[in-house]
Amino acid sequence: MKVEKATSNEIERIKKTIDQDFEEQGLFDKAFKDMEFVAVRGRWTEIFIFPKENSEFLVNVLKRYLPYSLGICIGEFHDKFFRIGLEGIYEISKYTTKKKVWIIPKAEQLVLYGRDVFGSSVSRVCSYIKKNDRVIVVNEFDDPIAIGKALVPSDEIKEAGNKVVIENLLDRGWYLRKGR
Amino acid sequence: MQIFDYKSTDLSKQLAQEYGYDEFLIRRYLTFFGQEETIQLLEANERPLKTSILVNTLRISVDSLKSRLESKGIKLEKIPWIPNGFWVLEAPFSVGATTEYLLGHYYLQEAAAMLPAFVLDPKQNEVVIDMCAAPGGKTIQLAQLMENHGCILALEVDLRRTKALRSNLSRCGVKNAIIFRMSALDLTQLDVQADKILLDAPCTGEGVIRKDPTRKKSRGPPDIEFCSALQTKLIDVAVNCLKEGGILVYSTCSLAPEKNELVIDYVIKKHNLKVLPTEIEVGESALT
Ligand SMILES: C[S@@+](CC[C@H](N)C(=O)[O-])C[C@H]1O[C@@H](n2cnc3c(N)ncnc32)[C@H](O)[C@@H]1O
């Protein structure tokens, strides 16, 4: 395992992935202002954020002992592809309204149990979603509870009734199922 | 190391039998606290522990979380000594599995365990070491007090517990911590001089009898001796990694003076440390 500052190439790729996937100009810059990016390289590469104000201190400590983890992990690189994780989504969610699907309170627990989202569970949807887009599934308070993949475009989502419209890729119930 | 033990009496035998304790512990309680307080303590240990939560102000305000939980039928009561701590009086479902829990809006922590980090009072620009950190309740609290600035070095020796530590810090959005899976006895290897250190010492203590009643019997002299020796070594290391003028908070979940007063006494004499008042209004003075 190796821990080091992420390369500028990696950071550029994260920025591009996030800004493009969520179609929100400057989203990356807003969400990760003042953050240092650190790569932990094992079988794959995990990307962590840590306050930039202490990056010199961090780099010095890293020279002396390999950490288990630091800051929060916002996603992973698999080959050249950056895949955003639960906390990455949490960080960007408050800076965007595009690619969001709001669900009704009754559906919240089901999603947190790993279930997909039915059309009838959606209370509101933004108008920018295309089929296969990554979407942020949020509850009535706009809290991001899952990352999903749209199976139909925006205008078909609410019409779909008891058909699955968003595939649940990763939800915060993960913390109970795996993250203990 | 001296382990305090006292003569058996009819009362110690009777209480040990009645409450299901190793008589050794009762003999000690009677000597340290007197009859009345001992019985109060034994009675208190029979009452179930009230669940309590600490609101994670890194993610939500106290008022917003309170109204959200209350609208779900959860009844809360403010813990007087901690600004964002609440007892859960009633909950229609487990508070360890709500949406708000999964979003890191709060975490479960015993009311008394909310004190050490609060007393340490870390500031935004400081370097703080949390020497025995998992599962992380106090680390999260430190990060809140520092508003995710400065830096926390969180150490934990046990791999499974280190994993839980990472997961809890991540769920609660703690950005300013570095987790090391290592023995805090090796802390000097990091070559860091901290402004503040929290040593929440491992102790398998009697303080958690309400959660784990087997501890009424399983904590004899060898256990006390083992823990006390480890704690003494850990606190020595802590002092060596503290900046001149730095502050160390030492906490345990035990009532045994060999793990508390004696450890503190040893370290203040050896390193000529100054004891500071905590300015909190709960608790009892130590034995002297
Ligand atoms: C009382 S618990 C800490 C609770 C924690 N501070 C919290 O608030 O969640 C003590 C921890 O110390 C760990 N521990 C035991 N020996 C250690 C050592 N030598 N170095 C670091 N951690 C140690 C234990 O595995 C245990 O997780």
* Interface check B122 vs A, CB under 8 A: no
Of B120, B156, B188, the one to substitute when testing ligand 1's pocket (max ligand atoms within 8 A of C-beta) is B156
| CB contact at 8 A, B41 and B29 | yes
Please determine, for residue A178, whether its predicted confidence score (pLDDT) is greater than 90: no
DSSP H or E segment with residue B261: helix B261-271
- Report strand pairing: B52-55 vs B85-90: antiparallel
* Interface check A93 vs B, CB under 8 A: no
Nearest CA to ligand 1 atom 2: B202
CA distance to partner chain A, nearest, from residue B45 (Å): 28
Q: Does this complex have an ipTM over 0.90?
A: yes
Set out the domains of chain A in order of their start, with CATH numbers.
Answer: 2-93 (3.10.450.220), 100-177 (2.30.130.10)
For domain B114-271, give the CATH superfamily.
Vaccinia Virus protein VP39 (3.40.50.150)
Of B107, B157, B171, the one to substitute when testing ligand 1's pocket (max ligand atoms within 8 A of C-beta) is B157
Residue B206: strand, helix, or coil:
helix
Angstrom CA distances, B143 to A166, B103, B177, stand at: 35, 16, 8
Q: Which CATH architecture has domain B52-108?
A: 2-Layer Sandwich (3.30)
What does the pLDDT average to over A31-59?
95
Ligand 1 centroid – CA B162 distance (Å): 9
Residue B148 has its nearest CB partner, among A51, A90, A139, at A51
Please determine, for residue A102, whether its predicted confidence score (pLDDT) is greater than 80: yes
Please determine, for residue A53, whether its predicted confidence score (pLDDT) is greater than 80: yes
Residues of chain B with pLDDT under 70: 205
**Cβ neighbours of A70 in B, within 8 Å:** 177-179
**Cβ neighbours of A69 in B, within 8 Å:** 166, 169-170, 178-179
Active-site annotation holds for B172:
no
Widest Cα–Cα separation across chain A: 57
* Interface check A165 vs B, CB under 8 A: no
Ligand 1 centroid – CA A73 distance (Å): 23
Q: What is the pTM of this model?
A: 0.96
Q: Mean pLDDT for chain A?
A: 95
pLDDT at B66: 98
Q: Is A174 exposed, middle or buried (0-12, 13-18, 19+ CB in 10 A)?
A: middle
pLDDT at B209: 82
* Interface check B60 vs A, CB under 8 A: no
What does the pLDDT average to over A61-83?
95
DSSP letters spanning chain A: -EEEEPPHHHHHHHHHHHHHHTT-TTHHHHHTTTEEEEEEESSSEEEEEEEGGGHHHHHHHHHHS--SEESEEEEEEETTEEEE-HHHHHHHHTT--TTEEEE-HHHHHHHHTTPPEEGGGEEEE-TT--TT-EEEEE-TT--EEEEEEESS-HHHHGGGTTSEEEEEEEETTHHHHT--
Domain segments of chain B as ranges: 10-46, 52-108, 114-271
Q: Count Cβ atoms below 10 Å from residue B235 Cβ, excluding itself.
A: 24
| Residue from A38, A56, A66, A68 to probe the interface with B (highest B Cβ count within 10 Å) | A68
CA distance to partner chain A, nearest, from residue B124 (Å): 11
pLDDT at B208: 75
